[in-house]
Structure 1
Amino acid sequence: MKVALASRNPSKVKAVEEALRILNINGTVEAVDPPPGIPPEPMGLEATVNGAVVRARHALSSIKDSTYGIGIEAGVLMLSAFNVNFDVTVAAVIDRKGLITLGLSPAFMIPPAFMRELMTGKELNDVVEKYYGVPNAGKGIGFIGLLSRGLIKRINLNTEAVYMALLPRMPWNKDLYELSD
């Protein structure tokens, strides 16, 4: 099976490969450039899900012989009632019938000072680089890797989001999710 991924980010490519391995899915990952026009820092769960779905559709249409298209998008989950904001990763998997399944990673709180900068239009990667002095952390251990001092890496969050999105498609779950072949 061939899986198309709308990202050339090494962390995302490795995450999809790892999710396939964990779920014992025999497949190869083919990376394509993401579609143009995706906002750099989606604000809100719906915007983040939409970004992942747009990426997944683009991936599927870019690789004609792929079984699935996968999009991975990190964004900000806002809980205004508690004045708390989280970084969360969403994975979307789409098949040739147009069926979309979604998965989310664990989410972690964004520090208030970082959030204030995001609200001015800055990208999280730029804010992280400014604070930690690590360029392109998103292509490596990620913000979570820096926050956790390497205990948790971005690839872990990406992998978890992808296998959560693939779980409904597993043969033992298809009836539960009312999915047909």
Structure 2
Amino acid sequence: MIPVALGSRNPNKVRGTELAFRLAGFRVNVISVEPPNDLSPEPIGLSEIINGAVKRARYAINMVQSADFGVGIEAGILRIEGFNEGIDVTIASIIDSDGEITLGMSPGFMVPKRFMNKVLQGIELNNVVSGYYGEPNLGRRYGLVGALTRRFIDRVVLNTEAVYMALIPRMPWNTELFRGS
């Protein structure tokens, strides 16, 4: 079993990480740790989302000395010029003991304008969504995507896809392609 440190205690992120590694053919033991406390509560923009994922992964691998990999998963909103809505995406970062980082991203979906307006006022998306649907802490369960799709797709799916995409360069048949030229 390969020890993998995850920079989150969110059960959706733990499950998504376990599934992605298993689907990629790795047998892992995911060890979740509290993430660093200086993360943005609602990352907006590609750089902020990626930086949050990388920070979580680095922090996790440093907290679990026995870990072969650190994983960080960060959901956030991409703003698209000319649109009032944002696109919600999940980005995963995987770092190994040599410091090599690989990234992956989930599919994205539009955030409703009424939610986006509140996020731009500084309210965390999870709080907006939980208030609207009347369900506390929706983000730790099926999330906005689950509510919008009537649970056809949930946060576990997006987390799994993001981590799996970040694993592509680490798959044995791909490592030669992703090494230096």
TM-score range with shorter-chain normalisation? over 0.9
Aligned to 2:112: 111
Residue aligning to 1:87: 88
Q: State the partner residue of 1:174.
A: 175
Q: Which residue of 2 aligns with 1:97?
A: 98
RMSD across aligned positions (CA): 1.2
Equivalents in 2 of 1:81, 1:118: separation in Å? 17
Pair 1:158 & 2:171 matched:
no
Shift, 1:95, TM fit:
0.7
Unaligned runs of 5+ in 1: none
Superposed, 1:11-30 pairs within 5 Å as: 11-30=12-31
Q: Which amino acid aligns with 2:26?
A: I
1:84, CA displacement in angstroms? 3.7
Q: Please state whether the residue corresponding to 1:150 is helix, strand or coil.
A: coil
Partner of 1:78: 79
- Alignment-derived partner of residue 122 in structure 2: 121
1:45-83 Cα distance to aligned partner (Å, 9 max, x none): 110000000000000000001000000000011111344
Output the TM-score relative to the length of structure 1. 0.97
- Please, which runs of 5 or more residues in structure 2 have no aligned partner? none
Residue equivalent to 1:44:
45
Give the match's secondary structure for 2:115.
helix
- Match of residue 146 from structure 2: 145
Given residue 62 of structure 1, which amino acid in structure 2 is its aligned partner?
M
Identity of aligned residues (%): 51
Contact map agreement 2:5 2:32 (CA 8 A) in 1? yes
